């Protein structure tokens, strides 16, 4: 009997989403677990198995499956490993493909979570048919996938396209996961928005803001977005600052691969024009003449989880 | 009769070098002219013709030639144009391939000067056989060529790989040619070294330096290098500062394409370890764990002019 399904797994800094996908790219069933609920990777795999095994049974058992595709931070396509991922509890080098193969009996292929999202985007989303684009995921962290001439850039060691760690402010804010100072992820992520908010609340004590009454736990990027929508000036400043830094970084990215489009994904993009308007402005201001008004920024029209699950599953077809 | 020679032309910010190349990649004859001696591109082409036509005759006339390959700043491979080049006198969009075709009667292909050097490097130099590398030219300006899976990255509009214009210091030094602030080229070029020296002489009036007795005309990057070699402390500081900025930028570049090697070309590399030591240190300090101690920096073993002429000529074979 010929295998008719693939499993796509997207490991994010907060949630791990997974689903069963058919050959046409339809997600038949999906679910999620907390990525860092367990201290060990073995615990993670057991959490995953508790939900994934019933799904596999529901679709006829492993003989109906071609394999598992996984997108994960710092995943190495060539080695099937996750290496020194800043936002995960598992430190060092994790032989994830091997562990999943042992647990589920299915061949596993891996790539960077953002690369997986870019593949999903290219096959099913806004950039369908586009040969040169960069996708940026603005979530707990900042991920990226670079597509050149229709192919994901993997690089010599499989770790290409880690644009979240580009330094945008020399000697800037410390990024705890990597020890780098002033990286894009320290600013243009959900965590970055929260940190910027706390900094601004401290730096401008005279400026009134609803956010001053929020507890530290309540100060999430979503909360800041809601306050900004309601006209809170400081919350608006936070998004202006974040977008400016993001736009400057995009101008740099364009110098590399001269993409046609930059596609933005992830929770932070829910802020819409609050984020996009300063992003576009800063990007254009920092572009070389030959690129001015030529590169589009688009929000993904795929559900982020769907894009990543689809892209991951596409690794094993 | 079958064409047996190609012409390779390398347009630099200061000199334009050109030569006749055979199929094996041997430069049979070469010469140079000043790029900006004439105000118009027509004047440039006449200067070129005055030296190139006798060479073509010497090798049997145009019927012996397959075509002209040219590497030039801001050259567009797809359109055969030079567009808004910051370091050239000719402004706007120059239809260079068409102009050369009309003057010499030979098909002309163009690419970014740094891309041409990278092609030369890949075919004949230090990275022979290497599939993933970035070459950086540190001359009057800073150029770059990115090779991924054995192919030069051209991008959607043919202008990919303009890494000299990456912003390395937010709101930093003004780059006159582009109007950008804090770009790599404003620091890690011959012009940048000169500007840094002048700044340091002004900022640290108490620090003794042989360079204080130099006239503005004498303050070249070569002069600063010679003083540094002789132990001048301020001159050494200049190279340390320059290398630090370059190294930080290289760490960013690695995040994109995960190259095996970065090859450095150009006049500034004559400073050797004075520049390389701080470059390597800053690069490693700013790298993600997965890249630490894994990416080599090499100086090109090709003569820079040769690499660019060879690479340009390779466009037309």
pLDDT in tens, A106-117: 999 999 888 888
pLDDT, position B123 = 82
Cβ separation of A167 and B248 shorter than 8 Å?
yes
Measured between beta carbons, which residues in chain A are less than 8 angstroms from residue B183?
none
Cβ separation of B132 and A178 shorter than 8 Å?
no
CA-based nearest residue in chain A for residue B74: A290
In A3-52, DSSP assigns E strands to 5-11, 15-22, 27-34
What number is the ipTM of this complex? 0.86
Nearest to B160 among A155, A161, A258 (CB): A258
Q: Which two tokens stand for residue A151?
A: 């192919």
- Are A263 and A144 in contact by the 8 Å Cβ rule? The answer is no
pLDDT, position A126 = 78
pLDDT band at A122 (very low <50, low <70, confident <90, very high): confident
Which H helix or E strand runs over A161?
Answer: none
Q: Which two tokens stand for residue A221?
A: 């990027």
DSSP A109-135: EEEEHHHHHHHHHHHHSTTTT-SSEEE
Lowest mean pLDDT among A75-89, A90-104, A252-266, B51-65: A75-89
Answer whether residue A317 shows pLDDT above 90.
no
B193-204 tens-digit pLDDT: 999 999 999 999
Residue spans in chain B of domains classed CATH 3.30.420.40: 5-120+305-314, 128-301
pLDDT, position A44 = 97
With residues binned 3-state (H G I as helix, E B as strand, rest as coil), the percentages for chain B, rounded to 5, are 40, 20, 35
pLDDT band at A257 (very low <50, low <70, confident <90, very high): very high
- Gap from B230 CA to chain A (nearest CA, Å): 31
Q: Which two tokens stand for residue B16?
A: 């334009």
Answer whether residue A138 shows pLDDT above 70.
yes
B253-301 tens-digit pLDDT: 999 999 999 999 888 999 999 999 999 999 999 999 889 999 999 998 8
- In chain B, the N- to C-terminal Cα span, in Å, equals 16
Using CA atoms, how far apart are residues A206 and A13, in angstroms rounded to an integer?
35
Mean pLDDT of all residues in chain B? 93
In chain B, DSSP assigns E strands to 5-11, 15-22, 27-34, 65-72, 75-76, 81-83, 93-94, 108-112, 133-138, 142-148, 151-152, 261-265, 296-299
Closest to A241 (Cα-Cα) out of A298, A297, A201: A201
Q: Hey, is the C-beta of A162 within 8 angstroms of any chain B C-beta?
A: yes
A232-243 tens-digit pLDDT: 999 999 999 999
Q: Is B21 helix (H, G, I), strand (E, B) or coil?
A: strand
B143-188 tens-digit pLDDT: 999 999 999 999 998 889 999 999 999 999 999 989 999 999 999 9
Pairing relationship of beta strands A65-72 and A108-112 according to DSSP bridges: parallel
pLDDT, position B128 = 83
Topology of the domain covering A5-119+305-314: Nucleotidyltransferase; domain 5 (3.30.420)
Nearest to A155 among B158, B178, B258 (CB): B258
- Gap from B150 CA to chain A (nearest CA, Å): 11
Topology of the domain covering B128-301: Nucleotidyltransferase; domain 5 (3.30.420)
Residue spans in chain A of domains classed CATH 3.30.420.40: 5-119+305-314, 130-300
- In chain A, the N- to C-terminal Cα span, in Å, equals 16
The whole-angstrom distance between residue A185's C-alpha and the CA centroid of its chain comes to: 11
φ/ψ region of B266 (left if φ > 0, alpha if ψ in -120 to 50, else beta) reads left
Using CA atoms, how far apart are residues A264 and A153, in angstroms rounded to an integer?
18
pLDDT band at A300 (very low <50, low <70, confident <90, very high): confident
- Whole-angstrom CA distances from B179 to B140, B174, B183, B264 are 17, 6, 10, 25
pLDDT, position A266 = 87
In B200-314, DSSP assigns E strands to 261-265, 296-299
The pTM of the full predicted model, rounded to 2 decimals, is 0.88
Q: Does domain B5-120+305-314 have CATH number 3.40.50.2020?
A: no
Using CA atoms, how far apart are residues B57 and B66, in angstroms rounded to an integer?
14
Backbone angles phi, psi at A71, to 5 degrees: -105, 130
What is the domain class of A130-300 according to CATH?
alpha beta
């Amino acid at each position: 009997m010929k295998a008719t399904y693939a499993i796509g797994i997207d490991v994010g800094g907060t949630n791990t989403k997974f689903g069963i996908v058919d050959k046409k790219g339809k997600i038949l069933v999906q679910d999620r677990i907390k990525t860092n609920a367990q201290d060990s990777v073995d615990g993670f795999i057991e959490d995953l198995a508790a939900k994934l095994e019933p799904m596999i049974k529901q679709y006829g058992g492993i003989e109906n499956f071609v394999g598992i595709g996984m997108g994960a931070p710092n995943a190495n396509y060539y080695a099937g490993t996750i290496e020194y991922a800043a936002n995960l509890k598992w430190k060092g080098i994790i032989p994830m493909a091997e562990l999943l193969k042992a647990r589920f009996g299915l061949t596993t292929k891996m790539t960077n979570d953002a690369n997986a999202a870019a593949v999903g985007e290219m096959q099913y989303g806004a950039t369908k048919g586009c040969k040169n684009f960069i996708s940026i995921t603005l979530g707990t962290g900042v991920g990226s996938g670079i597509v050149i001439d229709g192919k994901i850039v993997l690089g010599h060691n499989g770790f290409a396209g880690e644009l979240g760690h580009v330094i945008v402010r020399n000697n800037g804010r410390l990024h705890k996961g990597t020890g780098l100072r002033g990286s894009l992820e320290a600013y243009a992520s959900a965590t970055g928005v929260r940190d910027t908010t706390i900094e601004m609340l401290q730096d401008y004590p005279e400026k009134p803001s609803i956010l001053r009454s929020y507890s530290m736990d309540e100060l999430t990027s979503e909360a800041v977005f809601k306050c900004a929508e309601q006209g809170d000036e400081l919350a608006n400043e936070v998004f202006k600052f974040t977008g400016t830094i993001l736009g400057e970084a995009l101008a740099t990215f364009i110098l590399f691969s001269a993409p046609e489009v930059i596609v933005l994904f992830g929770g932070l993009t829910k802020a819409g024009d609050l984020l996009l308007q300063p992003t576009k402005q800063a990007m254009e201001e920092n572009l070389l003449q030959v690129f001015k008004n030529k590169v589009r920024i688009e929000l993904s029209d795929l559900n982020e989880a769907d894009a990543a699950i689809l892209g991951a599953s596409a690794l094993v077809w």
